[in-house]
Amino acid sequence: MRVAVIGSGYVGLVAAACFAELGHHVVCVDNDHAKVAALKAGKTPIYEDYLTEVLARHQGDNLSFSTSLGTSVKGAEAIFIAVGTPMSPTGDADLSYVESVTRELAKSINSYKVVVEKSTVPVCTSAWIERSLVLNGCPRAEFDVVSNPEFLREGSAVSDFLYPDRIVVGAASQRAAQVLRDIYAPLLDGSYSSHTGAVPRPEGAKPKPRYIETSPQSAELVKHACNAFLAMKISFINAVANVCEAVDADIEEVCLGIGSDTRIGHRFLRAGIGYGGSCFPKDVAAFRSAARVHGYKFELLDAVHKINEQQRQLFLRKVRMALWTLKGKRLCVLGLAFKDGTDDVRESPAIQIVQSLLHEGCEIVAFDPAAMTNAKALFSDSIFYATDAYAAAEGADALLILTEWKEFASLDLIRIRELLKYPIVLDGRNLYAPEAMAKAGLDYHSVGRAARAISHPIPVQARVAD
């Protein structure tokens, strides 16, 4: 089929590449001329497994990039809107980019099209898109609006798109619903995975996704409700972790017991410094706001947000308690991205903690396998950037683990002990067993578990001779 994807950000670029991978003829549209030029030159603007190779495989064949929305739309059967919906100062989703696209679409639609909202949007946005198209001169018979939310995880977005556990389509007409069935047919019948060169099926992925057809409003709510629920699980287990510390219990043991309940499951029951990224904070805020607009105060989500914010402050308190004072301390920070597998630093708990440490007069030496370029755009030269974890640890008063990269879970702890000025590790992601840290001679502070102090830092007054 002929597909236009408007927006070449995270969702738009992954969607365009994957629709091309499924055999469709795709044009990805963006009004950023420099970005489109870079994409045409084969440059991939985001860090994501398989994305570069899928883009290279199809570009110039059934995948192209354009800055002309009008030309691209005229030849398309389905138009996916994948522009940003950033959080406004009030917590609402900013839909100005979506509205701008609909105004342009109204001028360009020349035959029946299915307009698909792929961006994460509040409930009833599909109705507003329909209204905007009509008000801007597009005949109602020439289009249908469909909600098709994405459920992509940064770091595994391409695999998530091509091997989803479910596809949700909210359509008000059978004609539009059939177009979406045709677009996703290679996934629905399981035939994609048998193609030569197909992206490998992840371990545990279903052979075929569950295909769920709903009303547009229900599909819009599915996306926000999913992210809000996952954020709630994270905040819940972090709250339990704080209780564990108060009573000298071990959050990892508690998580094992909770997660073994099949009604709950293990996923997202990981205590740490809280959720971040471009989705959860924005979607929780937008869902709270949408509920408020429709007359319901979603107090549960208020608590989810509050616990998440508190988690950073509690971790900073651990750092202060381990180091006594912070001013002038040299700290090794491992991890700047909001999670492993991505270079995304938006709403990253690690970034927020580093900002607080800088405010308290710390010197930061950081390393992240993928996100240092994006971090430099935020910090410039206010922090130092190391070439690897060991270079960052050399001479540091303490080591802080802030992102759960796999390589940070397999460090040579004896070498780390020798490189650090003081044997102090603060693990905001619980990557290590306390016993392993104790064996290496490291004071270990994690989340929801008792601190394991092998030795204690020398008071600042006694360090004058250093």
Asked if residue 387 lies in contact with residue 436, where contact means CB atoms within 8 angstroms, the answer is no
By C-alpha distance, which of 463, 450, 459, 35 is closest to 247? 450
Asked if residue 154 lies in contact with residue 341, where contact means CB atoms within 8 angstroms, the answer is yes
- Residues in contact with 175: Cβ distance below 8 Å, sequence separation at least 6, in sequence order: 112, 144
Structure token digits, residue 202 = 């992840």
Strands 210-214 and 330-334: unpaired
Contacts 24+ apart (CB under 8 A), 89-92: 90/289, 91/285, 91/286, 91/288, 91/289, 92/122, 92/285, 92/286, 92/289
End-to-end Cα spacing for the chain: 70
Burial of residue 229 (CB within 10 Å: 0-12, 13-18, 19+) is middle
DSSP string, 261-326: STTT-STT---SS---TTTHHHHHHHHHHHHHHTT---HHHHHHHHHHHHHHHHHHHHHHHHHS--
By C-alpha distance, which of 151, 147, 162 is closest to 213? 147
Structure token digits, residue 417 = 């002990």
Burial of residue 30 (CB within 10 Å: 0-12, 13-18, 19+) is buried
Structure token digits, residue 219 = 């599909």
Is 279 an active-site residue?
yes
User: Catalytic: which of 18, 255, 279, 332?
Assistant: 279
Q: Looking at the DSSP assignment, which residues form a beta bridge with residue 2?
A: 25
Sign of the Cα torsion 225, 90, 93, 314 reads negative
Q: How many helices (H) and strands (E) does the chain have?
A: 18, 14
Q: Cα–Cα distances in Å, from 127 out to 100, 110, 146, 295, 311? A: 15, 21, 10, 19, 38
Torsion of CA 191, 192, 194, 198, to 10 degrees: 180
How many angstroms separate the CA atoms of 124 and 141, rounded?
20
Q: Cα–Cα distances in Å, from 452 out to 66, 322, 419, 434? A: 57, 11, 19, 7
Residues with a catalytic annotation lie at 279
